[in-house]
Chains A and B, each alone.
Chain A
Amino acid sequence: MARGKSSPGFGWRLTRWWNQQGIWYLFLAPAILLLLVFMAYPLADSLMLSFFKWKGLGPRKFIGLSNFEDLLDDRFFWGATWHTLVFALVVTLGTVGIGYLLAIVISRRVPGWQAFRVGYYLPVMLSVVVVAALWVRIYEFNWGLLNTFLRAIGLDALALPWLADVKYALGAVIIVPIWQYAGFPMIVTLAAIEGIPQDLHDAATIDGVSEWQRTWRLIFPLVRPVVASISILQIIFSLKVFDLVWVMTKGSPGNSTAVLGTFLFRQGFETQKYGYASAVAVVMFLIVFILTYLYQRLVKFEAVEF
């Protein structure tokens, strides 16, 4: 790297430093710059804004922790938080549970397993907006697929206004991501199951285990770390739900499907309470950030080893 053999002068040392260390900062610069401008600064500003009252125009008025105190008294905030948690939990149980069972069966190479694998994953590739708009049509009261089907088989009493009734709307919304994303845990679990060495299977076969024992005593313990990590990923992903609810119901009827994402959007961009909306953002940030941090620790420690 160094061209001259002369005494290590300042210029030489600078060149050497640049070639060995400095150049890397240049490699990193574009990524860091983007993160600083479009992530770090907005994050800091969000945090700041949560202590202010601001309508979007004019000066910001410092009000200390008032926004957070108001949040505690806001039953719509608690409603949205509750719906978000229920949503995240049920969606995760549904997708990971169904995905695991599908992966187990497909890993046995049942006839047509390749077609199953392709078909189950297909909805994952659809845009959430398309899926949400599609299911609005499926749930439609008068001519939607679901009610037409129910009436056709004589279950007229079950043909309900799925998305318009406070009692059913959240449940109807929750089914959609389970339908869409069950293929994702399936693909990941399947890869883990296929990574189990054949000699473990052979040993189990020699011992004469049943299929049931093979599934729960051999396969499950070995893929558990993967199932755990995919569950946490799914929870984190579901806590951020916005698109689906926004397109399907916008949080209606009667806020029964409102989640933190839509609550934040409405407080900010519909009622111009930007300080208050930022307080919601801070709460959302803390929940997701802590969970993701725990996830990263967990995954690091629990590497799959055979």
Chain B
Amino acid sequence: MTNTRSGTRSPAIARLLKGTLLAALVAWFLIELYPVIFLLTTSFKTDSEILSAPFAWPSGFHFANYVRVWLGEGANRPMALYMRNSIVVTASALALLLAVSALAGYALARGRFPGSAATQQTFLLCLAVPVHVLIIPVFFMMDRFGLRNDLLGLTFMYTTMGVPFTVLLMRAYFLSFPVEMEEAALIDGCSRFGVFWRIVIPVSRNAIASMAIINISWVWSELFFALVLMDRSEWQTMPLAVIAYAPKAMMGESTIGPQFAAMVSAAMPLIIVYFLFQRQITKGMTMGAIR
């Protein structure tokens, strides 16, 4: 944005324009970040500070709110339990999702078999299904098979929800992958699965990690199915913990601090993932949206 580019305009006007734009950027930056800062600072405040000085910096790092939620309070179960459930569900759903999708994506990219085009179309169609509409049959099905209030049921559901998108992404990735090495291995007597497991997967580690990162954010945050399928608090996940720790009318304002501690605990893992893997996330999002 140099003055030479602005053509007919005079340098003074161009500078003014640039200043205004920068001011707007900074303003929006503050609007985006201030609530996040508010979230963090409030979780370290005492009850009276929260009510009397919402904008102020906390007078010190009070970990009391965190202690209260992580050890559990009143009828609420300890945050550690919710955390464990969320980690188990997220880790197993991601592992299953990546394994299943890598296999299927590889078959769609390399296989020439009757029905391969139709299968590809089916995955595209599945992508268009809004999963919310499945909830009632899924609820009764899980109930019948004893998978309600079971982390396994939620794992299966999340895996299925991620399959269409991840399979298509895997296919696109494997298509861009040179086929010569695999053919050489096949001629040397390696089986199809051997090629996949020993040659393709080791080379694709980065791509697979990217797909794990793309999926982790929605799996970690999913509320709808968790709300319906997990009505016993011992099996609930982090999003439900945030709701469980919401201030109850009869308990007054003293539960606001703990709820903020619960919210920060629920948000932290994803924020850490974001700062560690920023590049993969933005690249993956772009890939998924444009493709």
Chain A residues at the B interface, C-beta cutoff of 8 Å: 1, 19-25, 27-28, 30-32, 34-35, 37-39, 41-43, 45-46, 49, 56, 98, 102, 105-106, 108-111, 115-116, 118-123, 125-130, 133-135, 137-138, 143-145, 148-149, 179, 182-184, 187-188, 191-192, 205, 208-211, 213-214, 226, 229-230, 233, 239-240, 242-243, 246-247, 261, 264-265, 268-269, 274, 277-278, 281-282, 284-285, 288-289, 292-293, 296, 299, 304
A192 to B289: give the CA distance in the assembly, Å: 11
Shortest CB distance B212–A (Å):
15
Q: Which of B9, B116, B191 contacts A24 (CB 8 A)?
A: B116
Flag whether B152 is at the interface (Cβ < 8 A). Answer: no
B interface: dominant SS: helix
Flag whether B100 is at the interface (Cβ < 8 A). Answer: yes
Q: Which of B31, B227, B263 contacts A179 (CB 8 A)?
A: B31
A213 to B50: give the CA distance in the assembly, Å: 49
**CB atoms of B111 and A21 under 8 A apart:** yes
**CB atoms of A38 and B157 under 8 A apart:** yes
Flag whether B160 is at the interface (Cβ < 8 A). Answer: yes
**CB atoms of A138 and B35 under 8 A apart:** yes
Q: Which of B122-168 contact A (CB under 8 A)?
A: 122, 124-141, 156-157, 159-160, 163-164, 167
**CB atoms of B193 and A208 under 8 A apart:** no
- Of all chain B residues, the one with the shortest Cβ separation from A264 is B132
**CB atoms of B130 and A145 under 8 A apart:** no
Q: Which of B104, B111, B132, B271 contacts A125 (CB 8 A)?
A: B271
**Chain B residues with CB below 8 A from A119, complex form:** 29, 32-33
Shortest CB distance A270–B (Å):
11
Flag whether B59 is at the interface (Cβ < 8 A). Answer: no
Flag whether B81 is at the interface (Cβ < 8 A). Answer: no
Knowing A34-B163, A38-B160, A105-B25, say if A281 contacts B259 (CB, 8 Å): no
**Chain A residues with CB below 8 A from B243, complex form:** 129, 133, 247
The number of residues on chain B lying at the interface, defined by a beta carbon within 8 Å of a beta carbon of chain A, is: 104
**CB atoms of B104 and A28 under 8 A apart:** yes
The 6 closest A-B pairs by CB, nearest first: A292-B128, A127-B221, A24-B111, A27-B107, A42-B137, A45-B137
Shortest CB distance A232–B (Å):
10
A138 to B37: give the CA distance in the assembly, Å: 12
Flag whether B5 is at the interface (Cβ < 8 A). Answer: yes
**CB atoms of B103 and A128 under 8 A apart:** no
**CB atoms of B25 and A116 under 8 A apart:** yes
A27 to B224: give the CA distance in the assembly, Å: 31
- Of all chain A residues, the one with the shortest Cβ separation from B271 is A125
**Chain B residues with CB below 8 A from A27, complex form:** 103-104, 106-107, 111, 192, 196
A25 to B286: give the CA distance in the assembly, Å: 31
Flag whether B217 is at the interface (Cβ < 8 A). Answer: yes
**Chain B residues with CB below 8 A from A240, complex form:** 130, 132
**CB atoms of A31 and B22 under 8 A apart:** no
**Chain B residues with CB below 8 A from A243, complex form:** 221, 223-224, 239
A46 to B126: give the CA distance in the assembly, Å: 15
- Of all chain A residues, the one with the shortest Cβ separation from B189 is A1
Knowing A122-B33, A128-B223, A188-B285, say if A210 contacts B111 (CB, 8 Å): no
**Chain B residues with CB below 8 A from A128, complex form:** 221, 223
- Of all chain B residues, the one with the shortest Cβ separation from A109 is B1
**CB atoms of A145 and B55 under 8 A apart:** yes
Flag whether B176 is at the interface (Cβ < 8 A). Answer: no
Flag whether B282 is at the interface (Cβ < 8 A). Answer: yes
Shortest CB distance B80–A (Å):
18
Of B17, B122, B192, the most chain A CB neighbours within 10 A belong to B192
**CB atoms of B36 and A122 under 8 A apart:** yes
Knowing A39-B134, A129-B243, A145-B55, say if A137 contacts B256 (CB, 8 Å): yes
Flag whether B69 is at the interface (Cβ < 8 A). Answer: no
New A-B pairs, 15, CB < 8 Å, besides A45-B136, A120-B29, A210-B6: A23-B193, A31-B167, A35-B163, A35-B164, A38-B134, A42-B134, A43-B133, A43-B137, A105-B24, A122-B274, A130-B263, A130-B266, A233-B289, A239-B130, A281-B136
**CB atoms of A30 and B135 under 8 A apart:** no
**Chain B residues with CB below 8 A from A230, complex form:** 289
Knowing A127-B267, A243-B224, say if A281 contacts B32 (CB, 8 Å): no
A226 to B134: give the CA distance in the assembly, Å: 30
**Chain A residues with CB below 8 A from B282, complex form:** 121, 187, 191
Q: Which of B12-38 contact A (CB under 8 A)?
A: 14, 17-18, 21-22, 24-25, 28-29, 31-33, 35-36, 38
**Chain A residues with CB below 8 A from B6, complex form:** 210-211
A208 to B9: give the CA distance in the assembly, Å: 11
- Of all chain B residues, the one with the shortest Cβ separation from A184 is B285
**Chain A residues with CB below 8 A from B134, complex form:** 38-39, 42-43, 46, 281
Flag whether B119 is at the interface (Cβ < 8 A). Answer: yes
Q: Which of A24, A205, A264 contacts B135 (CB 8 A)?
A: A264
Knowing A42-B141, A43-B129, say if A183 contacts B32 (CB, 8 Å): yes
**Chain B residues with CB below 8 A from A192, complex form:** 290
Q: Which of B38, B133, B217 contacts A145 (CB 8 A)?
A: B38
A233 to B165: give the CA distance in the assembly, Å: 13
Knowing A187-B286, A211-B1, A289-B128, say if A144 contacts B137 (CB, 8 Å): no
**Chain B residues with CB below 8 A from A292, complex form:** 127-128
